[in-house]
Structures are given as C-alpha cells and as structure tokens.
Chain A
Amino acid sequence: MNKKNINFIVGLVTLLGLMSCSDYLGQVPTDILTLQKVYETRDATLNNLATVYSSMPAEFEDRFTATGYANGTSGAWNAGCDDAEFVWDFNGAQIINNGSLNSETGFVYSYWNKWYKGVRAATLFMDNISICKQLHDGDLEQWTAEARAARAIYYFYLLRLFGPIPIIDAAISEQAPLSELNASRNSMTDVTTYILSELDLAINTGLLDNIKLDGAQAISSDKGFGHIDKVIARAFKIQVKLLAASDLFNGSNSYFSDLANKDGGKLFPTYSDAEKKQLWADAASEAKSFIQDYVGNGYELTRIYTNGKFDAYLSYREAVRGATSELLNLSGTTSAAEMIWFNKQGNASLMQYNRTPKHFGYASDVRCSGGMAATQESVDAYFMANGQKPIIGYESDGKTPKITDNTGYTESGFSTENYKDPVTGRVLAPKGVWNAWIGREPRFYADITFDGQKWLYEGSGVVYSRFQYSGNSGKGVGNSNDYTKSGYVVRKSAPLTSWTNNDRVSIMIRLAQIYLDYAEALNESNPGDPDILKYLNLIRERAGIPQYGPGIGQIAISDDQATIRQTIRNERRVELAFENCRYFDVRRWCTAEISTSLDYQGKAIYGMNIDKNGAGFFVRTKIEDRSFEKKNYFFPLPLKDLVINQNLVQNPGW
C-alpha cells in the first residue's frame, strides 16, 4: 500500500466527515411564524389580544369543570354550593361537595394555571404590541389598557378562589432558572391595591368609554363587544373592593389570621373596625359612582310591559337570558339593558342541555337531560308572590322546614286550577301541581322547573315536565343517567327554542348585582342610609313583589343592621341564583360554616323523592351529604407548585 493510496483513502473519509457538517439538517425555513410575525399586521395583533382574553371563564361549560371552550376555566360554582346539583359524577362540583378536594385535584391546578396563563399572555401582549407597525391611532393605548385590565381581572378571579396570590409582574422566561421562579404570595392588601391601581391605570390610559353607546361600532371586532371598556373595569373595581371589605378577606376570619409567608409576613390584614368600615365605604362609593355614571347611559334594569302592564315574570326571565342577537337592543326589554360583563364563547347548548328536562318520548328539540338539579334549599329561598319569605330555616334534622306563618305557603295538596300572575294574568303554573309551588313570586317560575310545569318551548308540541320516577323526565325512564337528582331542574336561562340554539351569552356581572353590591356595602358602612332600601327595592320591584318599607302595600322591616344584612342576602340569593355568585358569597360572608345559617354549606341537600311515583314523590328526601370545613373557604394552592417553589405557603387546612 503506497502513500498515495493512503492519502486517497484518508482524503475520502475526511470528505465524508466534512459533508456531514453541511446544512443537511438545517432545513427549517426562516419564514415560519415567529414572534415578529404574529404581530406583523393589525389583524394579527388583534388575534394576540384574543389570546389575552382566552382564559376568561365560559360558564356555560360548567358541566365539564375547568375545561371547555377557549382556554377552559368554566366553574364548578353553581353545583359546588347549595344552589344546584349535577347528576353526573364526573362533574367537578362533586369533588368540592363530598370533601375530597385537595391540592392535587386536577381542576385546582387548571384554574390556577389557566388564569396565570391569561396573566402572562396579557403581560407579553403589553410587552410586544409595539412590534406592530400597522396599528391605527389609539389602538396601542386601547389594546394595551385592555390587556392590563384583563390581567387585573385574572388576578381578581385568582384572589377570590385561592386567597392572596403571588403577583407575577413581568413575564417569566421559559428558560428562567429555578432560582427565578421563587415567587412568594403577596398579601391581601398588596393584591387588592395592585388590582385596583391596574384597573385605574387601564381606565385612565385608553379603555373605551362605553361600548354600548357606540352604536354600530359595538359589533366591530376592534372596538366592540368582547373588549373591556371603562364600565366593565369599574364594575370589577366594585367586585374587588367588596371582596376586600368582606369578612373572609378583611382579616375577620381568625382561621386565616396566622397565614404568613416563610419570612413571617402575614397575608391577611389586621384592621380595626373603623378601617373595616372604611373598606365597606370605599366599596359603596365605588358602586354609587358607577350607578350615577351609567344608569340611564345604556344601563338599566330590564323591564317588559305586556298589554301595558309591567310584566315582572317576563322582565326577569329576559334579563337573565342573554341573547347575542339582542346585544344591540338597548330599549331596555332585553338582557342587553343590564348586562355588564358577559362571555360569548361558551357553548350554550351545553348549558341548555343541563337545564332542559329529559322529556322522554318527545321531540329532540326539547329532549335533554335536566342534569342540573335545583336543590330544595334553593327552591325554598324564593319568596311568595306577597313578598314574604316562606321558609326561614330548617329543624336540626336539616330537612324539616321552618315555615313562616301566614305567608300562604303550604306543602299539602295540589292546585285545582292554573296559577296566574296576579297582574298580567299569565299562567305561571298549570293546575294540578303541588301547592308548595303555587303562589310563589315570578322569579320562582322563571328559575325553577318542577313536576307538572309546562315546558317553555312549544314548537314541537306542548310538554309538561314530569319528574316522578316513571314520569317523562323521571329517573325510571329512558334508562339513562340524564335526570334531575332533586326533582327540580334549573330553568333560569333555559331556551325558549330548541336547546341546540346557540344564540346566548353567559352573564358574569349584570346591573342587578351592582345594586345588591351597593346595598350590602352601604349597610355595612352607613346603616340606615336610605339608598340601602332604595336599591334593594328596585330589585324587588322589578321582580314583581312588594317592597320593604313603611308604606301601603310595602312590607314593614326593622332597620336593625343585622336584619337588613340578612334581608339583602336573602334577596341576593334569589336574584342571582344559578349565576355563579352564591359559591363565593357564602364564603365572602364567612357564613358557609355556620350551621344555623341559611348559608350553611356543610348540610345535606334535599329534593323530592325521585325514586317514587305519586304521593311518595312529594317527600323531602336527602340527595347528598355535603361537607364544609373552614379550609374550604379557599381552594388549596396546587401541590405541584408548592413542591417546585418552597417559598409558596399553603392555605391553612390543606
């Protein structure tokens, strides 16, 4: 073998080696979608803003807790409190109700992570929007302000569920070393101060004034519905201030008073009574200025007249139905009038499937599940048509109702004729139904479907919903797991057409809630203020029931602060039933643990006996034991994050 040959071979092998260093593997085109390109056009930038909004809860999807459309943060709230109960055990609310929630429960992490995803998306949007060179005048300010407001709202949702949470000011890099991931929880005061100042900043630096008043602009994609305007931001300021003033957050609940970071910093405040009162006053004045600025300016309670008479049933029913197609109708006869913050993304047919009974053997337009049962407790909460509260509590068995005398409420016998609205003559309940469901207030008929009630949609024939064991919507027919566990089905927001009609928005905050917020805050900060009863009565007036007060036809009420407090809470429970409020209200008030309270969440829930036909059905029957411990005021922080970041402290009890 001569030297030349060796050189030849060595040369060849070297060439092979060199060839492998060529760019055979570097084949990714440089024009793929990168950060610069996702902000290239105005339209693309608007898509990025859509990402910022994508973690907002789509509550129509609450059958599948913390999943669903967009980024899936639908709540377990209606069935997670004594408002309702799902028949399906896969629903996350079951885990809350049976006490098995823990720091490793999947949806605990989902809420936490998905709202923080929203936070980070908003931060990144604010950081990167200036990449876009095609923005119109004002876009940058408006959209940046929206991202800022959206981020503040995510923090509000986090705070409400988890208690004080870490504020992540800047977007953490995916490559950040663990040492940069050692955030600790901010105190309650820090968090609320931060959220409020961010909302203020957004309000002052570019949020649209009032989308509703912008006419045709309201349905445009750059300035229309779906964007946060000042109205929404200010409504959230009220929510934050109300939360901050409430017992659970203002340091009144001793169970949480020792919660501290590892450095000893307490997470809940220790306020004097005067300071607490000031918090309530802040909330009240925030609500008051909202009412002053917007009621009459695109916002009012929905009111509908039938044959010239105020139709309370229809007014309330339409106020809580929320049709997308009616958003531009500001005449005050649709939910558009009082809707402030709503979600258009959810799949309404999911909600409507839950709230339309099984109707076995009937047309598919009306044949659903009735899977979301209203509890007996929520049924009991509705007033009589005469404005009286029929049931004021339960005996120690948790089951036998304490029935108020002379309210007209009775649990014996069945109606012999149609029950009609005293004002409009509208039939609210057909004849032959249980007397307990006769003579109730209009909201009851709008919110609850009970055995023998006529179904809303008659396009495929008249259907009377029957929840007894062998009835058309009873447990015993259809052999399916689609039935109501209580014998009642939630009717609020149920469809007037086929259940597959998706023309719906889910309501998150409406004007009625602001009135109730105002009344509550005012009663705490300035008891006796005439505005308290004024705004409470506005709700009752629209509901078509007598108002509180000394006048003729009014219901006399003591002006004692505690009485008024309970009165407001009773009203709130009915008006905002099944709107994802009560879960947080009973916690905010710290009444969920009080066994003598109407808000007690540790009590079993009841319904009719769905395993029986005939008389056996009309017997209050336990549906489910429920548990509530003090730790349940807040969700646990997800264990995963606690083991990664030792600086995070867990909520007590978890």
Chain B
Amino acid sequence: MGDSVEHFVKRITFFCLMLCFAPLSVIATNTVGVNDPANINQNTVASEKKRITGRITDEKGEPLAGVSIFENEISNGTITNSDGLYQINVSSGAFLNFSFIGFENNTARIGSSSVYDIILKEVVNKLEETVVVGYGVQRKISAIGSQSMLKMSDVKVPSASLSTVLIGRMSGIVGVQRTGEPGKDAADIWIRGISTPNGASPLILVDGVERPFNDIDPEDIESVTVLKDASATAVYGVRGANGVIIIKTKPGIIGKPTVSVDYYEGFNRMTKAPELADGIKYMEAANEASYNMGQGYFKNYSEDYIENTRLGTDKLMYPNVNWRKEIFKDLARARRVNANIRGGSQMAQFYTSVSYYNETGMLKNNNYESYNSAIKYDRYNVTTNLNVQLTHSTKVDIGVQGYIAYGNYPGLSTQDIFSSTMEVNPVKYPVMFVVDGEQYIPGTHTQGAERNPYADAAMRGYRQTMKNRIQSNIRITQELDFLLKGLKFSAMYAFDVESARERIYGKRESTYYFKDRNNPYDAEGKPNLVVTWEGSTALNFNKSYSGEQKDYFESSFVYEKLIRGKHRFNAMAIYTQENKTYNEAVNIIESIPFRVQGIAARATYSWNDRYFAEFNIGYNGAENFPKDRRFGTFPAAGVGWALSNEPFWNSLKETVSFLRLRYTNGKVGSSSTGTNLTQRRFMYIEQYAWDNLYGSIFGTSYRDGARIVNPKTSLEWEVATKQDLGLDIKLFNDDFSLTVDWFKENRKNILRERNESLPGYAGFQSVPYGNVGESKTIGIDGNFEYYKRLNKDCALTFRGNMTWAHPEWVDNDIPERLYPWRNQKGYSLTSIEGYTALGLYKQTDIDMINSWIVLPDAEKSNTSQPFPTPPSVSLIDVRAGDIIYKDMNGDGKIDDNDKSWLGNGDVPEINYGFGFNIDYKALSVGMLFQGTAQANRFVGGIVRPFNDSGDGAVYSNINDRWSESNPSQDVFYPRLAYGSDALSNQNNFLNSKWWLKDMSFLRLKTFQISYRLPERWCNKVSLRNASVYMMGLNLFTFSKWKLWDPELATDNGTKYPNTTSYTIGLNFNF
C-alpha cells in the first residue's frame, strides 16, 4: 500500500514538473512568430504603407518614453523614445493603439495627416485600475477583500528599515519602532492588532515569497499592499491568519533605459535622550530618601560632601558625572545612495539597482583603545528584475535581490550600556583615573557590579556582525488561449539563502578605587588606588552563526472571461509549498525543515460592475498535526455592490462619483505556536530529550536526565473567523476618496501551552499544548485622500488613515478566579495585572491610622480599620506620601485579590497618520504626522528611585515628588525612601496604576521639501530631470510621557532611542 502510494506520488510530481516545463516547449515552437517591435519598421517598409510620426506627452506636456504603439490587429508596432517621439509605417485607414502602463489607452485612426501628437491621460481612480490581491492582481472595483496599498513612489524616508516606513501610512497596520539602534531598528508590525499569543506577526511576502523585508532598499520597492480580511487572506490558508503584507519590487518598464540616482546625507540625533539628575540634585534626593526612613538612618551625603561636589575642585574624590554625556555623542550620520537603471522593449524589460546605506551610532569611542567600538552599519544592496516576453503568450520574470550588511558595535549591547548609565549615580566615582598616562577604570563594587558606564561603552571590546542574503525567483507565465481563451498557467520557483555571523571581541578590565578616602593622594598628588575587581585587558573571542535556506514553489491556473461585456468571471487555482531550514538549529527537531503546503482557489463574478461576488478557499497542511487532522479547509466569501454604477445613481454622480459596499466573511487558520526556531513542533509525536536540568549525580558522575519535551497531543487548527464590512466612497469628481472597514474577528481553538489549566500536582515535565483559547477582536480602519489641482501650477493632497483594533480574551484557559476583576477575560491579550492606586496618604490619614492602632483590641474589633492593610507592610509602617491602594474585595487588606487587569499593554490600540503635500510649480512640500493612542506600560527601574541597593541614578524630574515641604497629591514620585528593604519602597513600588503610564504620542514623522531643478539647467549637464530635497524625520513628538521616547520597548529608558534625522538629498535621472 505504502509503496503504491509513493509510486503514485512520484508520478504526480513528475507530471507537475512537466507542467512547469510545458511553457518552455511552447517557447520553442513559437519563436518564429516573435518579432522585436522596435525593428519592425526597418524590416518591413512596404510601399503601400505610410510613415507616421508624432510625439506623445502626458497632460502636463511631459514627453512619455516607452509608450507602445501598435497597428491594430497586426504585429506591427514601436515605442516612443526618450523625447516621446515615434515613427511607424502603417497602412492608411488603420487604427493606431497607444498604450502605456498607468495611462489610459488611446487610439487614433490614420487619416491624411502624417503627424499624430497624442496626449495620454493618466489613469486616476478609474475602473481599470488594478490592485494586488492574494496570488495576483484584480480590477480594483471588483476586489472586495479588505486591503490597503502604498505606492512607494509617494514615499521617501531616510530609514534603513522598511517596516518603520509603513507605520502611520497604511490603515490596518499596528506598529511600533522599539529601538533606533543602527541595523536593529526594524519596527514590530501587526495587522489589526494582536489576537493570539502565538506570534501574531503577519505573513510578509516579497515578490510572492515569504521573506524578511526590512533590509530591502525602500527605493527598490514598487508597492506595499496589506491584506486584512479573510476574503483577501483565505487563499494563504495556514499562513494568512494574521494578515498578509505583499511587497513588490520594481519591475522593468518599456522605454529607453533611464538611469536614476538618489543620494542623501543626513544627521541623526536622539528623539528624546533620557535626562538624569545631576550630582547635587541626586544627593539631595538621596538624603531625603534616607531621612524619610526615620531615626537611626544616616544621611547618605554630608553637607561637606555636597559642598565639595558643588565646588568641583577635586573631581576624583567628589565627582559629578553626567554619564550619558560621557558616553553618547549628540550627532550621528546616515547616508544612502541608490542608482538604478530601468527600461526595456516590448520584448524584455529590466530594473536593476545598486545601493549603499551607511549609518553611524551615537556612542563614543575611546581613543586609548586599539580598536574602534563605535556603532557603524553599512549595507550594500543589489536588485535585478527582468521581465521577458518569450512569445506572444509566454512570459518569464526573473528577480534576484541581495544584500550584504556589516555592523560594528561595542562589546556590550547598547541596552546593557544604557542600563549601566542608570545603575550608577553621578557621584559614585569619576569617569576615569589617569595616572602617568595610564587609564585606571574607577569602580567600587567588590564583585564588579555597578559597572563603570564609560568603560562599558568604550572599553569592553567590540562586536562585528555580517549578514548577507540572496533571494531569487523565476516565474513562467503561459497563456493557454489555445486550450481555453482566458486561461493562463503560471509557475514560480524561488530560492533564498541567508547567512549571518557575529564575532564578539570582549574584555573587562580591572577596576580601581581609592585605597582609603581619608588618605587619597600620595606625596606627588597621584591617587592611591587599589584594585577593587580583577579583570583583564586581553580580548576574548566569541561567535555565533545564523541564517536560513528556503525554497518555494507554486503553480497556478488563472481564468478570465468577459461575457457580453457584463458577466465577468475570474477563477484561480494554485498549489504552493515552502521548505525552510535554519543554520542555527541545535537539535533534530529544530533541524527538520519547516514546511507548509497547500492549495487554494478563488472565483469571482461581477455583473456589469455593479454586483460582485467572490469565493476563496484554502486547503492547507501543517506539520504540527497528526496525519488525519493535518489538512484544514478555510473558505471565505464576499459580496459587493457598487451603488454608484446603478442607473438610478446618475443624478447623484456629480457629488458622489463612486459608492460601493462590501462584506466578507471567512475562516483563516493558524498552526504555529510561535515565530522562533525553538517553538514546539510536531505535537503529535512523543519527543524526549536528554536534559542536564533534570539530572543528578551518582557516584562521582553527573548524569543528564531524560525529559519529555513534548507529550503526544492531537491538535487541530487555530481558526480565525473574520468579518469585514467595507465602504468605499468617492466625492467631487473623484477628488476625495474614503475607505472605511469595520471588522470583527473571532479566534477559536487557540493553540496554547496549558500551563494555566493543568494543575501543578500532576507533575508534568512538559505541559502539553491544547486548542484552548478564544479571543475576539473588533475594530475600524480607514483612510482618505483628497487631491485637488487648484490650477496649472498648484496641487494639494491631504491624506489620513486610522486603525483601531481592540483584541480581548474570551477565554484564556485560566479557570475563573474568585473575584471577577481577576479574570483577564474581556481584557486585551497584552493587558497587565496590578493594583489600583487611589492617591497618597495625607498626614491626617496617618493620624487617623495611629489613633486607631493604639485602641485596645476589644475596641479595635468594633471599629473598622481606617485603611486596608497595605501589601508587604503593616499598616503602622505607612507614612504620609505613600501610595494608598484600593481594597477591591473589601476584606481590609491589600493582596493579590485586589489586583485587576489594567491598560492594554504597549501595543497601541489606535494608530493613525495624516499629512499633506503641496506642489507648486517645481516646489513640493509634504508633512506626515503619526500617532498612537491607548498604549501604556508599567514603568520601573530607576523610575522607581532608590530601589535595589538604592545606588542607581535618578531621572531629572526627581524634584517632582511628595515631600514634607510639598505634600501634594499631584506629583510624579511618592514619598522617597532608600533601598529596596525600605518599607515605603516596598509599598510604593508595586505594580499599580500609579506607575502605569500613558505612552501615546503624536509626532511629526516626516517633513519634506523638494525642488525640481529647472529643465534648462538639467539639459546643460544632459540630465533629464533633477531635484533636491530636504527631509526631517521624527522632528517633534508630543506625548504626556516625558522621560524617554514613548515608542521604545522599555520600562526604564534603557533602549537605544529612536532618532530624529535631518537629511539633504539629490535625485536625478538621465
């Protein structure tokens, strides 16, 4: 049985391969029929033909190069040259067709004249406009799935990472840029929010293949499309549950080759550098903190000490260091140059580009070191797309892209370096001791903790990263009109390789401090130092490798038919498979290729462009499920109605030129439990591993234990049911367009590790996964655009988009708690648990508490306690200025049962962007604002000051605190106390609403001015056109949160900040 199945499979595979090569044989037989249209007029000059010349321009009078001109129904044609001129020999009375991508076709009947100057109208908001859909394109009017599209020609941003470009520009995108570190600044992106705990990242396709997209040069991208609802993504089945982003790189175009060069150079600075308090402010606060703890506690710093610091005469003994300034430069640099050539004939078109990106970071280097640890990131990209029309019915598209990127970083991660600057207060020790020209790193901790931030940044060695990637794809499209008119076959094979390595040259030097502060200097005035922690000045070496290989294959049939001009049928069937392996796999399970496989089909029907119906289905297999459950079917259907195309609408067309309603409903599946290599896989197979965490010592030898890493579990697909109701409207002669979508998603059978629903006494070594969760998401997204040409010289564009997505748990697999507020059900998947802070104790409250405490026990039991017993401390320990918590269950004490779910986490529920462009003659000005709302985070670290050892730095807003002299409720910090064993710190530093801070913001994301240089200047240096531009990125940020850039993924400000950049660039074509 098994053999015969295998045999059968082999035959089928063979058949499919034949199918892929079928078009090649067609090529072989049809080559005779192929002519280069550009040569036709030279080869076939016939006496009865007439020579026609002309110039083809757009509406602005700009010549159009590469316009196809064909004599009707004869294989005779040509294209325009770079000046828009053409000549062709045609029969008198013939029709000449003029066609050019992005423009309306035009036809001229050849009469007596021999000169035909044609003006082609640009296609704007027209019915024939196409949009990208899953595995293809569709006429925009009949595409009823919810999607949004960004043409990259509209966008210019000085950023290496494409993901940062999308935020604020596309509806449906929820995103945050978590760090601005060069080479690592890609944003986290989701589509319509996070509705599953299992890696909610969308599927990202570059030229049809799942690929990372951040390292593609934005200049090489033609368009970005986001598919949001089930109807749009069902065909991706397994991979489409979290939405799909489709990126298309620039294809070749017909026309004389044009060289285009874009160069910019700019400066970066931090959007918001964390400001720490200086030494004096720090010491005053530290003294108050220790004073607040009551009698018996020292003031940490004596008056003399503070005065000496203020005087600054002995900066080694009495330092006052601004660690951030010692470590970070104010400015860094970024530059990019992209040069591309694009052109081609009717038969073959190409796009090829090279680009170089370079960015430096803001960390300082130490000139004493023999190496350079300054942050630097260089990337070289190449992209080539070749589109060849092999025969009139056969097309081959070949794409090759690649890059190599080099990074140089300090030995420690920037996050560690930032942490260092905050763990050490400004008066702890100086930046450096220099004795006889030798550097001695100051440090006082006997175990090397509370490291010297400057040494961490500049003297811990360096890291070099290298990453390269080559991705290639070849597609063959064969029209099968000979079988069935309107039928096309297409097959694609893609192969990508990536490899990356990191080399870490690290060291950690000894630290020194005064042997005795009472006797700090020797007779010569040199400091008497002693080693406090022993390190080494020699570099050690460490390395890591990563990377992946992927191959992908798809083959599809597409069928299109228009019957009697009214009934339009469209059908597609596709087979796909993907195979991917990782270099860094460390065990068998990780080393097994990650595979997905599926077939999908789509059928659409429209009648007279008024009524639309669409049916999609995906049939997909996933590796995590047993054979009988491996394949899932995911159908989706949609209907649409273009009211404005109804006859009765004619009277309204003046104002409402277009109105369409859409509704889709369908299912999409998900099978993975995460996005990383180490996710649990093949859950239907029992898997054990030898594990030293489960071992023991017998005799003298340690034995690794056996651990079950995956108990055999039979699971099913996680299924998202998505509904989308959309409205598209265009007003005022199409000048204003608006799209709004209401959406709702129900996700069931969420794959979760059953940590919360299986009891601890079962003693499982590995908790099985189950189809146990359920979530719900509702939201709206939409965008508008208003375009107005005021006159010949001036045009205006306004744009805006907004996404609101609210996901919540319906069932998170955690059994009901005693108190309803403790259940996360009904709250966001990213919300967090904490206490409700009601304010600060006033002195009158404390007096009330004290008079109650001294009551005799008998009386106490008759009177109610004035305040609930706070967590971690007893009531007698609270002081004025401490945080009061809400006793949710009224049991007189604050404990875990008084925690409730707060906020919705740091993934914003609302993302929006808006901006405008004004074109006036050669000048163009554009602005884009981007914002988020409903994002919040518990802040911690040194924002809760004097915690841990108490020795960390404090933020510069430390004076905004409760104190006896400022007994205000409206302060940032409650009463200060020193050290984490301080009772008030234990009370005040719990996760509560007090520390839950609103991280929403609005920022001027880009501001751009460009000027097109006059044509006469360009012509002198034989440029076709040229423009200069200035850009600003992240120029202003408005936010309630002031201590650091609210977009960063940090609760304490220790991330490398996002950057503000100022850029000047030049762009020219020839």
Interface positions of A (Cβ within 8 A of B): 1, 5-6, 8-9, 12-13, 15-29, 32-35, 37-38, 44, 46-54, 56, 70-71, 89, 94, 98-100, 102-104, 109, 112-113, 116-121, 165-166, 168, 171-172, 174-176, 178, 181, 183, 218-222, 224-227, 324, 344-345, 358-361, 364, 367-369, 478-482, 609, 611, 621, 624-625, 627, 638-641, 643-645
Q: Report Cα–Cα, A345/B701, bound state, in Å.
A: 10
B447 and A28 within 8 A (CB)? no
User: Which residue in B484, B685, B765 is a CB contact (below 8 Å) of A121?
Assistant: B765
Chain A hits for B757, CB < 8 A: 178, 644
Q: Report Cα–Cα, A360/B577, bound state, in Å.
A: 64
User: Which residue in B589, B693, B760, B816 is a CB contact (below 8 Å) of A640?
Assistant: B760
A16 and B555 within 8 A (CB)? yes
Q: A51-B694, A104-B896, A344-B697 are in contact. List 12 more A-B contacts (CB 8 A).
A: A9-B557, A19-B575, A21-B631, A25-B595, A33-B690, A50-B703, A98-B872, A175-B713, A221-B698, A221-B700, A478-B445, A482-B447
Chain B hits for A54, CB < 8 A: 693-696, 705
A166 and B713 within 8 A (CB)? no
Chain B hits for A481, CB < 8 A: 449, 948-949, 951
Contact status of A17 and B588, CB under 8 A, knowing A51-B706, A120-B762, A482-B446: no
B694 and A174 within 8 A (CB)? no
- CB-CB nearest in chain B for A18: B12
Q: How many residue pairs between the two chains, A and B, have CB atoms under 8 Å in the bound complex?
A: 283
B760 and A27 within 8 A (CB)? no
B694 and A116 within 8 A (CB)? no
Task: Report whether over half of chain A's contact residues are helix, strand or loop; otherwise say mixed.
Answer: loop
Contact status of A19 and B16, CB under 8 A, knowing A28-B682, A479-B951: yes
A220 and B699 within 8 A (CB)? yes
Chain A hits for B12, CB < 8 A: 15, 18-19, 22
Contact status of A611 and B699, CB under 8 A, knowing A104-B896, A120-B762, A121-B765: no
Q: Report Cα–Cα, A481/B444, bound state, in Å.
A: 11
- CB-CB nearest in chain B for A17: B599
Q: Chain B nearest CB: distance from A397 CB in Å?
A: 15
Residue B623, interface by CB 8 Å? yes
Q: Chain A nearest CB: distance from B376 CB in Å?
A: 35
Q: Chain A nearest CB: distance from B760 CB in Å?
A: 4
Chain B hits for A168, CB < 8 A: 761-763
Most B CB contacts (10 A, CB to CB) among A8, A54, A119, A611 go to A54
Chain B hits for A26, CB < 8 A: 627, 630
Q: Report Cα–Cα, A203/B808, bound state, in Å.
A: 56
Contact status of A117 and B446, CB under 8 A, knowing A32-B685, A175-B713, A361-B515: no
User: Which residue in B296, B697, B698, B895 is a CB contact (below 8 Å) of A222?
Assistant: B698
A25 and B630 within 8 A (CB)? yes
A28 and B980 within 8 A (CB)? no
| In the complex, chain B residues 694-733 whose Cβ is within 8 Å of any chain A Cβ | 694-708, 711-713
Q: Report Cα–Cα, A210/B333, bound state, in Å.
A: 74
- CB-CB nearest in chain A for B290: A611
Most B CB contacts (10 A, CB to CB) among A166, A218, A643 go to A643
A24 and B597 within 8 A (CB)? yes
- CB-CB nearest in chain B for A353: B447
Chain B hits for A38, CB < 8 A: 688, 706
A25 and B621 within 8 A (CB)? yes
B446 and A358 within 8 A (CB)? yes
Most A CB contacts (10 A, CB to CB) among B487, B515, B764, B877 go to B764
Q: Report Cα–Cα, A100/B835, bound state, in Å.
A: 15
A479 and B428 within 8 A (CB)? yes
User: Which residue in A15, A369, A480 is a CB contact (below 8 Å) of B949?
Assistant: A480
Contact status of A174 and B444, CB under 8 A, knowing A71-B694, A479-B450: no
A98 and B873 within 8 A (CB)? yes
| Sampled A-B contacts (6; CB under 8 Å) | A18-B12, A24-B595, A25-B630, A50-B695, A70-B693, A369-B447
Chain B hits for A35, CB < 8 A: 686, 688, 708
B762 and A181 within 8 A (CB)? yes
Contact status of A46 and B698, CB under 8 A, knowing A174-B713, A369-B447: yes
Q: Report Cα–Cα, A183/B515, bound state, in Å.
A: 63
Most A CB contacts (10 A, CB to CB) among B444, B447, B485, B599 go to B447
Residue B532, interface by CB 8 Å? yes
A181 and B698 within 8 A (CB)? no
Q: Which 7 A-B pairs have the closest CB atoms?
A: A120-B763, A51-B705, A224-B699, A113-B760, A174-B711, A116-B763, A481-B949
Chain B hits for A641, CB < 8 A: 759-761
| In the complex, chain B residues 448-501 whose Cβ is within 8 Å of any chain A Cβ | 449-450, 483-485, 487
| In the complex, chain B residues 943-960 whose Cβ is within 8 Å of any chain A Cβ | 948-949, 951
Chain B hits for A358, CB < 8 A: 446
B765 and A117 within 8 A (CB)? yes
Residue B1015, interface by CB 8 Å? no
| In the complex, chain B residues 375-429 whose Cβ is within 8 Å of any chain A Cβ | 428
- CB-CB nearest in chain B for A223: B699
B599 and A16 within 8 A (CB)? yes
Chain B hits for A22, CB < 8 A: 9, 12-13
Q: Report Cα–Cα, A489/B804, bound state, in Å.
A: 58
B694 and A13 within 8 A (CB)? no
Chain B hits for A13, CB < 8 A: 557, 573
CB-CB contacts of B943-981 with A at 8 A, as 1s and 0s?
A: 000001101000000000000000000000000000011
A221 and B515 within 8 A (CB)? no
Contact status of A611 and B557, CB under 8 A, knowing A19-B13, A102-B895: no
Q: Report Cα–Cα, A27/B428, bound state, in Å.
A: 59
Chain B hits for A609, CB < 8 A: 296
Q: Report Cα–Cα, A22/B575, bound state, in Å.
A: 13
Contact status of A112 and B761, CB under 8 A, knowing A227-B698, A360-B532, A361-B532: yes
Contact status of A116 and B815, CB under 8 A, knowing A32-B588, A481-B948: no
Q: Report Cα–Cα, A15/B10, bound state, in Å.
A: 12
- CB-CB nearest in chain B for A27: B592
B699 and A25 within 8 A (CB)? no
Chain A hits for B763, CB < 8 A: 113, 116-121, 168, 171-172
Chain B hits for A625, CB < 8 A: 874, 877
Q: Report Cα–Cα, A32/B704, bound state, in Å.
A: 17
Q: Chain B nearest CB: distance from A524 CB in Å?
A: 33
Chain A hits for B557, CB < 8 A: 9, 12-13
Residue B1019, interface by CB 8 Å? no
Contact status of A345 and B696, CB under 8 A, knowing A117-B765, A480-B949, A643-B816: yes
User: Which residue in A20, A21, A621 is a CB contact (below 8 Å) of B296?
Assistant: A621
Most A CB contacts (10 A, CB to CB) among B485, B706, B895, B896 go to B706
Chain B hits for A29, CB < 8 A: 588, 592
Chain A hits for B483, CB < 8 A: 1, 5, 8-9
Chain A hits for B631, CB < 8 A: 20-21
- CB-CB nearest in chain A for B19: A12
User: Which residue in B444, B485, B575, B877 is a CB contact (below 8 Å) of A479?
Assistant: B444
Chain A hits for B873, CB < 8 A: 98
Chain A hits for B694, CB < 8 A: 50-51, 54, 70-71, 121
A50 and B760 within 8 A (CB)? no
Q: Report Cα–Cα, A113/B381, bound state, in Å.
A: 53
Chain A hits for B764, CB < 8 A: 117, 120, 172, 174
Q: Chain A nearest CB: distance from B237 CB in Å?
A: 11
A89 and B447 within 8 A (CB)? no
Residue B1020, interface by CB 8 Å? no
B589 and A1 within 8 A (CB)? no
Chain A hits for B949, CB < 8 A: 480-481
Chain B hits for A23, CB < 8 A: 9
A221 and B619 within 8 A (CB)? no
A225 and B760 within 8 A (CB)? no
Q: Chain B nearest CB: distance from A307 CB in Å?
A: 34
- CB-CB nearest in chain A for B530: A361
A221 and B703 within 8 A (CB)? yes
B445 and A480 within 8 A (CB)? yes
User: Which residue in A178, A181, A611 is a CB contact (below 8 Å) of B298?
Assistant: A611
Q: Chain A nearest CB: distance from B577 CB in Å?
A: 6
